[in-house]
Chains A and B, each alone.
Chain A
Amino acid sequence: AQKVTQAQTEISVVEKEDVTLDCVYETRDTTYYLFWYKQPPSGELVFLIRRNSFDEQNEISGRYSWNFQKSTSSFNFTITASQVVDSAVYFCALSEGGNKLVFGAGTILRVKS
């Protein structure tokens, strides 16, 4: 069965600090997809990244970077030089195909100025 664990319920950092959000997943499939979404206080879900199980290459997009390690079943998300606007709930999600996403519990990130 699919499962996504985001062990960090809430993280508080001061602006300009780097912060890493952890995501550990469980799946029996060899083909699967991993996602990160951001949910700001306004409530909408903002897509950040999708990664398939055959692509372990790390990705960097501006201040965001993702570290995918199949050996530890982890897909961690790092924000470099955090900003107040990064304050949100971040969800990691997994799909084994068929477009059904299983979400983690989410991590609340609070960035203080």
Chain B
Amino acid sequence: SAVISQKPSRDICQRGTSLTIQCQVDSQVTMMFWYRQQPGQSLTLIATANQGSEATYESGFVIDKFPISRPNLTFSTLTVSNMSPEDSSIYLCSVEDGWTGDTGELFFGEGSRLTVL
């Protein structure tokens, strides 16, 4: 099973600033996913990141607000830009186990808990 490390694990940020979250996987994976979990809420997919191409964003999320990088098969970053208190959430990185393209087990990092003041 994949082991996923996220940094930072938590942070307190000021309104208007930007923060980059890192996701490191211990094995090569085709697709990486970024989810958001707002306080007391469920998880919502922000975008899918493939190496070598632009991320694919879900409805309601845009690249200017959540730019994503995927420089190689084991690493990705998500930036939360121009933060407001509404961006206070847990941001989770996820990868799929397996290369078949079938929906296998999705592994999640421990999440990055952001609080915006």
- On A, residues with C-beta under 8 Å from B are 33, 35, 37, 42-45, 47, 50, 91, 93, 95, 97-106
Contact = CB atoms under 8 A, between A and B. Distances in A.
Interface stretch (B20-28, B38-46, B69-77, B80-88): B38-46
A101 B107 contact: no
A95 B45 CA distance: 12
| Category for how many chain B residues contact A | 20 to 34
Interface in B56-104: 58, 90, 92, 96, 102-104
A97 to B, nearest CB: 6
Given A44-B109, A50-B104, A50-B105, A99 B96 contact: yes
Q: Is the interface of B mostly helix, strand, loop or mixed?
A: strand
20 contacts: A37-B108, A42-B110, A43-B111, A44-B111, A45-B108, A45-B111, A47-B106, A91-B42, A98-B103, A99-B31, A99-B96, A99-B103, A100-B33, A100-B45, A100-B58, A101-B45, A102-B45, A103-B42, A104-B42, A105-B41
A91 B43 contact: yes
B115 interface: no
Contacts of A97: 102-103
A35 B110 contact: no
B45 to A, nearest CB: 6
A106 B58 CA distance: 21
Given A47-B107, A98-B103, A105 B96 contact: no
